[in-house]
């Protein structure tokens, strides 16, 4: 069995608030798993149940093959880093990091050894005598992580540990936590609502919404083969573009007809879409799979889409075009030097081998 396993776990808060609804997943030894999803989807509650800070209403939680439902938090061999990592203000960095070990009656020389080792790993050796108020946000975050490291737990749990940091520091700390995982080789479960953190850090990602799991997979699979429209739209920036239209057949070929344009599907997709012929579907295309026809040498005429360019946003390394078909607005990411004129028509080419289709009612993936 995996290092951490949840089997049919639910959490119902008083007032019949179902925060987590029948969730099952496993985290392998040494794996870095990210729980990601919008605010209120049940990420923290799931993590807190693993930590033992919250009882599971239903289901079983195992840590290292041991059923832990009735084991108190302090005996679960896990360490948790929170978003609000409240350090003790009257204690030095050293004392803050040593506190948990002292409570557990570790010998003094072992405490000194572990705190120094953690401080070395985190690059905060020089700060050990300072008080939290004499530290920057990033340094405080490191101390909070250090407090968890010294415990040498079986599993680390992180709940949005970077959300109090400014954007630049977040990116830096993200890399540091990633490196820390490689170095410590410990199982980690990391909660975030930031899909970029999920994509860049996770060996595997658990995508949650409304207390349920929508997909569990490695980042590339989640990105390329989302299980449904929600996952497709949540992971990726800018989000996947969606358009509503019909699947039609003409002269033996299958097309997606948006109303203002139609594009021909690649033949490999035909078998999966035939049951949707003449029905409405949701068409999905990522912004990087849309090209300005001016920069495409051999554009297949059946896949050219006429749109109006409404806004041009230079991002430095690329340009975001905000486009309008007359029925739908969407975004394309094009090369840094592509500056089409605003409020003029332009021709696009869709890479039809990369497009997605979702069931209109269920929003599940067809292709």
Ligand X SMILES: Nc1ncnc2c1ncn2[C@@H]1O[C@H](COP(=O)(O)OP(=O)(O)OP(=O)(O)O)[C@@H](O)[C@H]1O
**Smallest gap from residue 14 Cβ to ligand X (A):** 7
Q: Is 167 helix (H, G, I), strand (E, B) or coil?
A: helix
165 close to 137: Cβ distance less than 8 angstroms:
yes
Cα–Cα dist 335/314, whole Å: 9
Q: From the list ligand X, Mg ion, none, pick the one residue 42 interacts with, judged by a Cβ distance below 5 to 8 Å according to partner type.
A: ligand X
Site for Mg ion in 18-57 (CB under 5 A): 44
Number of residues that bind Mg ion (CB under 5 A): 1
**Smallest gap from residue 38 Cβ to ligand X (A):** 7
Q: From the list ligand X, Mg ion, none, pick the one residue 13 interacts with, judged by a Cβ distance below 5 to 8 Å according to partner type.
A: ligand X
**Smallest gap from residue 15 Cβ to ligand X (A):** 6
Q: What is the largest CA-CA distance in the chain?
A: 82
**Smallest gap from residue 43 Cβ to ligand X (A):** 4
* Structure tokens that stand for 263 in this block: 């594009």
**Smallest gap from residue 143 Cβ to ligand X (A):** 22
221 close to 347: Cβ distance less than 8 angstroms:
no
Q: From the list ligand X, Mg ion, none, pick the one residue 17 interacts with, judged by a Cβ distance below 5 to 8 Å according to partner type.
A: ligand X
The neighbour count for residue 303, using CB atoms within 10 Å, is 21
Q: From the list Mg ion, ligand X, none, pick the one residue 45 interacts with, judged by a Cβ distance below 5 to 8 Å according to partner type.
A: ligand X
Name the nearest CA neighbour of 270 among 251, 290, 286, 247.
247
Q: Does 192 bind Mg ion (CB under 5 A)?
A: no
Cα–Cα dist 222/206, whole Å: 9
Query: Smaller CB distance to Mg ion: residue 10 or 44?
Result: 44
Residues in contact with ligand X by CB under 6 A are 13, 17, 19, 37, 39-45, 193
Query: Smaller CB distance to Mg ion: residue 44 or 186?
Result: 44
Secondary structure (DSSP) of 208-273: EETTEEEEEE-HHHHHHS-SBHHHHHHSSSSPPEEEEEEEEEETTEEEEE-SS-EEEPPGGGHHHH
Query: Smaller CB distance to ligand X: residue 50 or 118?
Result: 50
**Smallest gap from residue 62 Cβ to Mg ion (A):** 23
140 vs 2, 83, 161, 190, 201, CA distance in Å?
A: 32, 11, 11, 19, 21
Query: Smaller CB distance to ligand X: residue 80 or 332?
Result: 80
Query: Smaller CB distance to ligand X: residue 40 or 259?
Result: 40
Query: What is the binding site for Mg ion (CB under 5 A)?
Result: 44
């Amino acid at each position: 069995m995996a290092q951490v396993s949840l089997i049919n776990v639910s959490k119902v808060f008083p007032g019949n608030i179902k925060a987590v609804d029948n969730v099952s997943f496993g985290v392998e030894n040494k794996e870095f798993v990210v729980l990601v999803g919008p605010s209120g989807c049940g990420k923290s509650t799931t993590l807190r149940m693993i930590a033992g800070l919250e009882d599971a209403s239903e289901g079983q939680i195992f840590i290292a093959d041991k059923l832990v439902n009735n084991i108190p938090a302090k005996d679960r061999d896990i360490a948790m880093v929170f978003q609000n990592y409240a350090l003790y203000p009257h204690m030095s960095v050293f004392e803050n990091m040593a506190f948990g070990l002292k409570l557990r009656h570790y010998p003094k020389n072992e405490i000194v050894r572990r705190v120094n080792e953690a401080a070395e790993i985190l690059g905060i050796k020089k700060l050990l005598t300072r008080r939290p108020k004499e530290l920057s946000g990033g340094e405080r975050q490191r101390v909070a992580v250090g407090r968890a490291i010294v415990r040498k737990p079986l599993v680390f749990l992180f709940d949005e540990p970077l959300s109090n940091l400014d954007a630049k520091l977040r990116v830096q700390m993200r890399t540091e936590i990633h490196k820390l995982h490689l170095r410590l080789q410990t199982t980690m479960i990391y909660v975030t609502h930031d899909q970029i953190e999920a994509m860049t850090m996770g060996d595997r990602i658990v995508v949650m919404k409304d207390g349920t799991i929508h997909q569990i997979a490695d980042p590339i699979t989640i990105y390329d083969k989302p299980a449904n429209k929600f996952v497709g739209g949540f992971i990726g920036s800018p989000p996947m573009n969606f358009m509503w239209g019909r699947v039609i057949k003409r002269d033996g070929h299958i097309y997606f007809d948006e109303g203002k344009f139609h594009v021909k599907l690649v033949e490999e997709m035909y078998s999966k879409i035939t049951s949707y012929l003449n029905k409405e579907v949701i068409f999905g295309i990522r912004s990087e799979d849309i090209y300005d026809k001016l920069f495409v040498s051999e554009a297949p005429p059946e896949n050219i889409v006429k749109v109006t360019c409404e806004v041009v946003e230079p991002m430095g390394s690329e340009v975001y075009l905000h486009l309008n078909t007359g029925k739908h607005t969407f975004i394309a990411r094009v090369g840094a030097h592509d500056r089409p004129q605003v409020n003029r028509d332009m021709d696009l080419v869709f890479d039809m081998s990369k497009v997605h289709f979702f069931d209109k009612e269920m929003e599940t993936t067809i292709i």
